[in-house]
Amino acid sequence: MINIKENEKLSIMNHSCAHLLAQAVKHLYPHAMFWVGPVIEEGFYYDIDLGNDVIKEEDLEKIEREMKKISKDGKRIVRHELTKEEALEMFLQDPYKIDLIERMDENDTVISCYTQGDFTDLCRGPHVDTVKELRHFKLLKVSGAYWKGDAKNKMLQRIYGVCFETEEDLQEHLAALEDAKERDHRKIGKDLGIFMFDELVGKGLPMWLPNGFIVRRALVDYITDKEVNLGYQHVMTPSLGNVDLYKTSGHWDHYKEDMFPSMDLDDESYVLRPMNCPHHMVMFRNELHSYRDLPIRIAEIANDFRYEASGAVCGIERTRAFTQNDSHIFCRPDQIKSEFKGVIDLILDVYKDFGFKDYRFRLSLRDKNNAEKYFGNDELWEKSEQELREVLKETGADFYEAEGAFYGPKLDVQVKSAIGHDVTLSTIQLDYQLPERFELSYINENNEKVRPVVIHRAILGSLDRFIAFLLEETKGVLPLWLAPTQVNIIPVNNEYHLEYAKEIMLVLKNYKVRVELDDREEKLGYKMRESQTKKIPYTLILGQKELDNGEISYRLHGGDETTTISKEEFITMIKEQVKEKN
């Protein structure tokens, strides 16, 4: 979907359309007062105080009609410039505009507003020339929004909309929005019984239902097998740690606001861990290492906890409790390039398995203007940033640079989800800071104690976010090897064909195929439609012909053709597809 904010012409149109919306609302609700109406990636919104009146979804059509009426009238949109005193006088009866004006810089002596017919609004602009240019728009939804985003303030009503140059562009965008709605992992997760949330448990704390646990376990087995083959050693560490652990790592000073509050137990303080690196540093420090032992690759499927603002949590894409496919590689300086390249190769191998093609590499660096936000000294940062650039250039990776890392430069793999979210799936980070803080060492070839370098890496990243991405990419139609139920068996007639169906089910289970048997006394057509709704890859229909010939008839999800083959051929086909991750 197009990003409205990044398109200058559409941005101006949508901001102008926000004013058109406000004018229409003022016509219909004369007592309405307005806060702000900015352009956003998806279009625009306006926050409105309607007193005791409540706008519902069904009221949006009425507001649209009034907007079209105003647009058809074709009034020019005229800019006026005022002093601060004149602006305060003009909006004297509007506390929301007065608040905006009073917070403006004293040096900003010129304040602008725009008038279209009988409506004037405070605004920097720019706008289109006339309201007649605003013809192809749609109001999308209405929701609540606290004034200034503060839950202590009054709840306003927020109306969202979008505007395009042509009706064709608008309809194309609305179709994309409808597709995005169908792809929303929160809807799919609920429909397919993947995960759930409950306020009694807590915001941002997902509970994985049986189907979801199957998907998670399949992903864990998949990535663990790949890592074991590459020499990773898997470990398990606690989901909490002593506050002193995070003071040593530096997270307590630099990351405390994103952590849950500490818990005082006996004479110690503990905190739920937001990441696993401090535990792994201590684990490496537990033994004496020779330069010949390196690299040491420690991996863990670890549960972590971060305090996300309630407005930031989003299904399983952004949560307060999540599971990471995490690893730390302890290596010598001369091994950095080969290890870093090995991680990139692993990422590309995984993305090939999943068919991911639309991704970009982002080299995240420190913000030099905010030294308090990152760990360590400038010398180590300069060294690690330069080394990482060299590695990326040597591997031929196409990357762009940004700021945002806080204890070492990192390579983030950014993907665009099917509903338009910019998601970080995989991360690799080069770190000289934590080895210093934890005083890690190994014995080099000269029998001297020296510091190792640490490479932090997460291939699937957060399993929760990865699954959210997969559900949206596939609309819940997961590949066979990941599908919670791989085969659904439907006997045509329970009286005659149920025993054959049970026989096939047992054979498939012996080959570790996840299979269900639908032996309910329902019509065949109903059971087949339900199998499609559950997005089960294979639906078997077993009747008299199949029983007599030792065959299987199946239908693929989304298809309307039935294929009949021997049961031996079917079993071989299923086993091969699961093995090859097809």
List the catalytic residues: 277, 306, 324, 326, 328, 410, 456
As a whole number of angstroms, the longest Cα–Cα distance in the chain is: 92
Please report, for residues 364, 394, 411, 428, the alpha-carbon distance to residue 341 in angstroms, rounded to integers and kept in the order given. 17, 9, 12, 10
Q: Which two tokens stand for residue 457?
A: 């890496």
Contact 425, 460 (CB under 8 A): yes
Q: Which residues contact 571 (CB under 8 A, 6 or more apart)?
A: 507, 508, 511
Q: What is the rounded distance in angstroms from the CA atom of residue 582 to the CA atom of residue 578?
A: 7
Q: 395 burial class (0-12, 13-18, 19+ CB within 10 angstroms)?
A: middle
Q: Which residues contact 31 (CB under 8 A, 6 or more apart)?
A: 50, 51, 53
Report how far apart the first and last C-alpha atoms of the chain are (Å, whole number).
28
Does residue 126 have a cis peptide bond before it, meaning omega lies within 30 degrees of 0? yes
CA proximity to 317, closest of 176, 418, 239, 456: 418
Please state the φ and ψ torsions of residue 297, each to the nearest 5 degrees: -110, 105
Q: How many CA atoms within 13 Å lie on the side-chain side of 421?
A: 21
Q: Which two tokens stand for residue 215?
A: 């998907």
Helices (H) and strands (E) counted in the chain, each on its own, are 18, 28
Q: Which residues pair with 483 in a beta bridge?
A: none
Q: Which residues pair with 142 in a beta bridge?
A: 159
Contact 411, 423 (CB under 8 A): no
Q: Which two tokens stand for residue 491?
A: 């006997």
Q: What is the rounded distance in angstroms from the CA atom of residue 302 to the CA atom of residue 317?
A: 17
- The string of DSSP letters for 177-205 reads HHHHHHH-HHHHHHHTT-EE--TTT-TT-
